[in-house]
Structure 1
């Protein structure tokens, strides 16, 4: 069963690049903060690179003005996430987090099998808004769609 509004973000460890590979746990990322987490099936893939990440880059300041941190997560390694962020012009403060083994995505019940495309386990495309580690809003895309998890949609529907 997938994560629902009112659920806490599962406690797992993830990785990111900051002066080398760093481990970060979800309580550190979410506790005491307002956070929008958006997940993509894969770095450097078409919709993710042409629309999803660029939308959050474009609207990053609008989230920050509301006191909301922004985290991008994908089932890719931290080096790929860093390179993708650099190529996309991700601003400092927009966190590019690696869920390389899909632990967070599986714990949230939002994984998908992309083996038919040679990609193995991946994240479904989604966005969520969490306050102090509790999911307050959840926007999960239907397979193959990109509508409700866009930065524009999330901003328009924040409580």
Structure 2
């Protein structure tokens, strides 16, 4: 019975991931600005509706994971370089709850102006087409490792790591020339 339930759970995770994901975002796409996310509290959502200026969205598979905890500090350290190039905000987006997102920000740089965004249901990430089935490693669908550069709500640049456990094209130093 346990193996039957385990198999059904794996199938449900894979199905949920495919159902939640739209076609992968590309240059010229519009951000899913009406999809709610969280930053401050579990009962306080906001959307990116009306977003202005140049922004960088860094999608990561999971807070506190080794690779993500190597990647995100690069963006915190390079924040001023991004600002010099006209970036208004950097958003680190994860399919984690807001408590985890806040704790991770506290650990990595509590006073950093980088925003840690909790997409706890994966709806924003799914609307971008950036969900993948990470149930074997992280227990549930998670975000692909990606970076978007936007002007307002329009995507100007996209890079997605072919292997979510690696940081190559999504390194801060690799993205800076594209902003």
TM value normalised by structure 2? 0.81
Could you tell me how far 1:108 is from its partner in structure 2? 0.7
Deviation track 1:35-92 (CA, whole Å, cap 9, x = no partner) reads 000011000000001x211100110111122231100010001111011001001444
CA distance in 2 between partners of 1:71 and 1:107 (Å): 16
CA distance in 2 between partners of 1:9 and 1:154 (Å): 19
TM value normalised by structure 1? 0.91
Specify the structure having the higher radius of gyration (Cα): 2
Aligned to 1:58: 77
CA distance in 2 between partners of 1:130 and 1:76 (Å): 23
Specify the SS of the correspondent of 1:93.
coil
Residues 21 and 86 (structure 1), Cα distance of their counterparts in 2 relative to 1, 3 Å cut? farther
Aligned to 1:134: 154
Pick the structure with more strand per residue.
Answer: 1
Choose the corresponding residue for 2:121, options 97, 101, 120. 101
Determine if the alignment matches structure 1 residue 10 to structure 2 residue 29. Answer: no
Determine if the alignment matches structure 1 residue 48 to structure 2 residue 68. Answer: yes
Residues 79 and 155 (structure 1), Cα distance of their counterparts in 2 relative to 1, 3 Å cut? same
Unaligned runs of 5+ in 2: 1-22
CA distance in 2 between partners of 1:32 and 1:60 (Å): 18
Pick the structure with more helix per residue.
Answer: 2
Determine if the alignment matches structure 1 residue 122 to structure 2 residue 145. Answer: no
5 Å matches for 1:134-153?
134-143=154-163, 144-153=165-174
Displaced runs of 4+ in structure 1, greater than 4 A? none
Aligned residue pairs total 154
Determine if the alignment matches structure 1 residue 23 to structure 2 residue 45. Answer: yes
Answer whether contact 1:81 1:98 (CA < 8 A) is retained. Answer: yes
CA distance in 2 between partners of 1:149 and 1:90 (Å): 22
RMSD: 1.5
